[in-house]
Amino acid sequence: MPGAIITGSTKGIGKAIADMLIANGFDIAICARTLADLEQQQADYNRRYPGQKVYIQAVDVADRYAVIDFGRQAVAFLGGALHILINNAGLYFPGNVLDEEDQQLEYTMQVNLYSAYHLTGTVTEALVQTPGSHIFNMCSIASLQAYPGGGSYSISKYALLGFNDNIRMELRDKGVKVTAICPGAVWSNSWEGSGIPAERIMEADDIAASIWNAYNLSPRAVVERIVLRPQLGDL
């Protein structure tokens, strides 16, 4: 079976992507911070898809060594073949650059950028050895333009887009596709109580569907960047 790695898999976009991939016949290796959430997700998948394998590991993606260990364990679990890598884990603290708390930029970069950098480096050999492999990096509208309150988050997402574009260039001759996903507002539990109606915000399944469509193009084509916004515009 094809294999995929997804970081930040228990909620929101990551959960929608994991649901989509396992429903389409993938064995998956997933990580998140909370083991109990991962165990619940694994139990649900084992019940619904008994013929497929699910590897879980609780990982603090701000810890480079934990990320590297997860990558090694995941590739071994998948038998050395890796068709899709989803660098999805991330965090957001609202604030402005000039009045953020000390070390906020450093921590945000560790989670939003360095985790993708270290995981991708760890599993690149498996990707290169697997025909038709594809990396998806979860960037953001904040990768494309500054906005009030973006602060360190926007800086980190600009940097992640730069990382994406560089590895796209480095890996294209090795047969590995690389795509940046740049979504606007996507519905999650964090929007509850905001007063913004759910229909004003994209669904996580929209992001998963865009990834599936990009993955299924012919070997001759790659979508380098996907920008998705709510139909009525950014919030």
Residue 20, domain member (yes or no): yes
Range of the domain at 175: 3-228
Q: Which residues contact 205 (CB under 8 A, 6 or more apart)?
A: 16, 20
- The β-bridge partners of 227 are 182
Query: From CA 128, how far away is CA 61, in angstroms rounded?
Result: 23
Residue 233, domain member (yes or no): no
Query: From CA 52, how far away is CA 150, in angstroms rounded?
Result: 40
- Cα distances from 167 to residues 23, 162, 200, 209, 215, in angstroms, run 28, 9, 34, 23, 17
CATH number at residue 101: 3.40.50.720
Q: What pLDDT is recorded for position 32?
A: 98
Residue 114, domain member (yes or no): yes
Which of 167, 144, 157, 152 has the alpha carbon at shortest distance from 227? 144
Which of 15, 2, 37, 1 has the alpha carbon at shortest distance from 138? 15
Residue type, 217: L
Q: What is the dihedral of CA 142, 148, 152, 153, to 10 degrees?
A: -30
Q: What is the dihedral of CA 87, 19, 2, 81, to 10 degrees?
A: 30
pTM: 0.96
Q: Which residues contact 63 (CB under 8 A, 6 or more apart)?
A: none
Q: What pLDDT is recorded for position 188?
A: 79
Give the length of the chain: 235
> Strand, coil or helix: what is 179?
strand
pLDDT per residue, tens digit, the chain (235 aa), is 999 999 999 999 999 999 999 999 999 999 999 999 999 999 999 999 999 999 999 999 999 999 999 999 999 999 999 999 999 999 988 888 888 888 999 999 999 999 999 999 999 999 999 999 999 999 999 999 998 889 999 999 999 999 999 999 999 999 999 999 999 999 877 677 778 888 899 999 999 999 999 999 999 999 999 999 999 998 8
Residue 234, domain member (yes or no): no
Q: What is the distance between the terminal CA atoms of the chain, rounded to a whole angstrom?
A: 40
